[in-house]
Amino acid sequence: MSCLFCQIANKEKESDEVFEDDQFFVFKDINPKTRIHVLIIPKRHIESVNHMDEEDVELVGTLFLTAKRMAEQLGVADSGYRLEINVGRGGGQIIDHLHVHLMAD
Ligand code: 5GP
Ligand code: ZN
């Protein structure tokens, strides 16, 4: 499997891990744009929002719940944070494995 984020989720490639459960992996962005900048990814490879299917609806709902829990764990739930999902090259997506950026200053 050549997908970088699949490799990170499988721990074939090193990352600064923040959280893991059976469905998701959360790690620090290698090039943080804000004080807190983590990436939340489903372990199952979905290329982007454009590649979402009906069967992914529950997973993506839980992805947002995980983002909320990460914000709490990282201590920014009350002060506020930004979630960003880039889709396609024109939307700024570089890694073709669905991910949510959680960012806070
Ligand atoms: P995108 O632009 O696809 O939405 O976001 C990809 C993000 O992945 C970028 O913010 C980039 O810094 C981060 N990134 C790229 N390669 C690696 C890596 O090997 N490790 C980690 N931790 N982050 C990465
Ligand atoms: Zn992948």
* pLDDT > 90 fraction of the chain, expressed in percent and rounded: 98
Q: What is the mean pLDDT of residues 10-25?
A: 97
Distance CA 66, CA 39 (A): 11
Q: Ligand 2 mean position to 97 CA, how many Å?
A: 5
pLDDT score, position 40: 98
- Give me the half-sphere count of Cα atoms (radius 13 Å) on the Cβ side of residue 30: 7
Distance CA 18, CA 91 (A): 26
CATH number of 4-104: 3.30.428.10
Residue 45 confidence class, pLDDT cut points 50, 70, 90: very high
Protein residue whose Cα sits closest to atom 21 of ligand 1: 30
Output the pTM of the full model: 0.97
Residue 8 has pLDDT above 90, yes or no: yes
pLDDT score, position 83: 98
Q: Please confirm, yes or no, whether 101 is among the known catalytic residues.
A: no
Residue 1 has pLDDT above 80, yes or no: no
Is the C-beta atom of 92 inside 6 A of ligand 1?
yes
Q: What is the mean pLDDT of residues 36-52?
A: 97
pLDDT in tens, 51-67: 999 999 999 999 999 99
